[in-house]
A and B are shown apart, each in its own frame.
Chain A
Amino acid sequence: MFGKLSLSAIPLDQPIPLITSLVLILTIAGVLTFVTFKGWWPYLWREWITTVDHKRIGIMYCLLGVVMLIRGFADAIMMRTQQAVAVNAPGYLTPEHYDQIFSAHGTIMIFFAAMPLVIGFMNFVTPLQLGVRDVAFPTLNSVSFWLTASGALLVNVSLFVGEFARTGWLPYPPLSEMTYSPGVGVDYYLWAVQISGIGTMMTGINFVTTVLKMRCTGMSYLRMPMFCWTTLSSSLIIVAVFPILTASLAMLTLDRYLGFHFFTNAAGGNPMMFWNLIWAWGHPEVYILVLPAFGIFSEIFSTFSGKPLFGYRSMVAATLFICVVSMMTWLHHFFTMGSGPAVNTAFGISTSIIAVGTGVKIYNWIFTMYGGRVRFDTPMLWSMGFIFTFVIGGMTGVLLAVPPADFLTHNSMFLVAHFHNVIVGGVVFALFAGLEYWFPKAFGFRLNQAWGKAAFWFAFIGFWVTFAPLYMVGMLGMTRRLQHLDVEPWRPYMLVALLGIGILIIGAACQVIELVVSIVQRDKLRDLTGDLWDGRSLEWATPSPPPFFNFAVTPNVEGAEAYWGIKQRAIESQQMGPEPHYEPLEMPVNSAVGFFTAFFATVFGFAMIWHIWWMAAIALVGAYAAFVVLAWRDKQEFEVPAEVIAQVDRARRAARETVLGRLEHEGAVAS
């Protein structure tokens, strides 16, 4: 009846996962009870769960990403403590458990922390910057989000019911085949990543279409803010490579469930084909993450230097260059496969060349600051910390791109330090910078600067104290994924790294405190104008938070840096443009299809993991029914009356006029 599922799947004999999951279950139950007690369900259902508003979906993506970031960080703390105490000792984690932790850490950080945060920013910012009211396919957007959430849920269920993969964040065969991994861990990985991957692919399709077909009047390609360019490039890569992930995971699934021979050692299968396929997705994936991060930094450097982005066109070219070349470097992840000097040389060269595109960007950011009036607000601190960190990470990457050097450092802690250096220093710093930068736009009040700056300094120093020793110990020959260490001289490095993670914990605590303090002080930190940072792109033309229709009248862009131009004209003429004529407009209606599809996808995934075939069949029929019901509805859009729009926009204009008046007053004082 329940396939492989029985009570023995619950880890009653392992205190760490048991206590963690009990705490997790109690927390979730507590939150649900609180929400029920407060009677918030109708509001949550109407305004958030069924919403198709790109801003709300973006915020939910970021929330999911932050929660999973904490979960992945907990795994990181366990790994660092284990390796610090397990020198010539067993430590406190068994090998089975330790292997699950490093697998879960990588899977969660890439798929369920970094990706949701990056996609969250793409969702929130891109339509606002393009001057449009929503993405190309709002309902599909909601489906994408809920499928990602469904995958995240499955990964977390594995903590309590069964086990997670012990095969690393990319389950290499033959280890991940049924013969060597008979448990459900790899199946949890496969279905969680497959379901969320389909969501991501739909996001990619959505944003390619949005950027190419949904720009406001006057917004030609070379007038788009840099973040829109990086959204486009990142989405193009998603469309090109996520199908490869889908295909390769489907093949491994067939191997495991039906005894196929794609990647087996025996019967003519080819395990290295999995490595090629998965890295043909996996290497572009890091650029999917880092390109929007570069976009965030471009916005911040320009805004906080009070200057247009230096070398905008070369930045666009570099972005598109990286977009294409990112798909030509995957083999550097396994130079040691033995494909011969010619192949290794070709991939070594392509890997070194892609650093040129990034180099162009680094110089552009530095020259953007040069001669500008730089303001050292929290987002700018993260951005400057990024340049320092990322340049070093990039250089160690170029070192790894040289095949003979790579043979020595392959799968060592040096590699671990390198990719954390670029992903933490590149992507995570960008996400924190972006959270600081766009938080006031999303919620109408800014974050507390003192705690934000403290969080930056602890994270920046903590990062280097953690990962510099890992570079060194990697050079000494320590390989990655060691549950215990038998080499005494490595102990000091592990202890320094432990100190580093301690500093990072303080940094993370500062960020939580920052959020709480800011919410408490929200009336003091209120952003009344909607243009808190003296911004240059169209999202700053809206009030904070923006109304659900974004723009009362769709903007007409007359040059690069759309909002900067409008603002300068208003300041010069000491008055805003005439009040526009407000017309009613159509907005898409809410839809529960995303929620229901994801519900059935979760049930389907869970049923497949535990071989409960009847439940899987019911879930498939349910998902199809949910789609048909959606397709059957008659009302796709509703009309927003002109009076509502006028009311919102007049409030916005009044706030801006107050600012103009203040500027005028200050000008009078100065003269």
Chain B
Amino acid sequence: MTDTHFPSSIEALRLLREDPNRVGHRGHVLSSPIPGTGHGRTGPANKRIVVGYGFWIFLLSDIVMFSCFFATYAVLQGGTAGGPDIRQIVELPRVEWETACLLASSFTCGLSFAATNARNVLWTQVFLVITGLLGLAFVLLEAQEFAGLVSQGITPQRSGFLTAFFSLVGCHGLHVTAGLLWLGTMLAQVQVKGFRREIIHRLICFNLFWHALDIIWVGIFTIVYLLGYVA
């Protein structure tokens, strides 16, 4: 297969394209499917693809669950029962800080995986810790927001709208909190066990999870806060 006539940059591209671990980014109609990807007649995929693929499917199902909360929010938005509506809740500077923290944490999470790819324990850990701190800042900012609202009597028990608001935003917050727990566990595992195969697979899944939470937050930021702000 190896064709040494090509310059090394082309060769690197070819290797990348034929990398069986590279999910997606490839035409679906292949003249010769690549072994280890689980495509066509090539036999079972390798473990890394199976784990990543399965986790993607989980993320899709998680997003379906969030879509239920989004739909509920859309249905109950008008059900304020004479209580506060979204305009009394949006506190844009805080939400901007939250968004900044979360998006930055996604970036550092990506950097940690770059370090993982280079098999560098120290930098993987450093960037994971930064990711965790940014995530923690996000959760604390959200908790503070909720506490402030509750102290003004704006509770989910007040109206259908507030129920939907607290549940949608809180469900995302719970996911981030669970992600932090996972992150802490991963820090310990990387430190004790190093880059074993299954640890790397878990880091892949954690990265996917963390980025998916970002995508959902972008939805919440836009639909709940920005549209609420201009409402």
Contacts and interface: CB of A to CB of B under 8 A. Distances in A.
Interface stretch (A14-22, A151-159, A237-245, A500-508): A237-245
Given A214-B38, A243-B65, A632-B189, A268 B198 contact: no
A520 interface: no
Contacts of A206: 54
Given A136-B54, A259-B157, A260-B157, A277 B43 contact: no
A631 B38 contact: no
A100 B43 CA distance: 50
A269 B79 CA distance: 7
A261 B160 contact: yes
A261 B43 contact: no
Contact of B68 (A205, A213, A277): A277
Given A136-B50, A260-B156, 9 more contacts: A214-B38, A214-B45, A215-B43, A218-B41, A247-B65, A247-B68, A258-B157, A262-B167, A273-B75
A254 B40 CA distance: 46
Interface in B148-202: 156-164, 167, 181, 185, 189, 193, 198, 202
B53 interface: yes
B29 interface: no
18 contacts: A205-B58, A209-B53, A212-B53, A213-B44, A213-B45, A213-B50, A214-B50, A216-B43, A216-B44, A218-B41, A241-B64, A243-B62, A246-B65, A247-B72, A262-B160, A266-B81, A267-B160, A268-B160
Contacts of A219: 41
A201 interface: yes
A208 interface: yes
B61 interface: yes
Interface residues of B, number: 44
Contacts of A251: 72, 167
B76 A262 contact: yes
Most buried by B among A209, A215, A273: A209
Per DSSP, chain B at the interface is helix
A138 to B, nearest CB: 11
B38 A215 contact: yes
A270 interface: yes
B43 A209 contact: no
A554 interface: yes
B49 interface: yes
Sorting the interface of chain A by its residue count into under 10, 10 to 19, 20 to 34 or 35 or more gives 35 or more
B198 to A, nearest CB: 6
Given A267-B81, A269-B79, A631-B202, A261 B58 contact: no
A217 interface: yes
Contacts of B198: 636
B42 interface: yes
B78 A212 contact: no
A628 B41 contact: no
Contacts of A260: 156-157, 163, 167
B57 interface: yes
A387 to B, nearest CB: 34
Given A205-B57, A243-B62, A254-B167, A215 B44 contact: yes
A220 interface: yes
A262 B43 contact: no
B119 to A, nearest CB: 19
A583 to B, nearest CB: 15
A209 B23 CA distance: 13
A215 B43 CA distance: 5
Nearest 3 interchain pairs by C-beta: A268-B79, A268-B160, A213-B38
Interface in A333-355: none
B76 to A, nearest CB: 6
B42 A217 contact: yes
Given A262-B160, A268-B160, A636-B198, A217 B58 contact: no
Contacts of B62: 243
B61 A268 contact: no
B38 A261 contact: no
Contacts of A201: 61
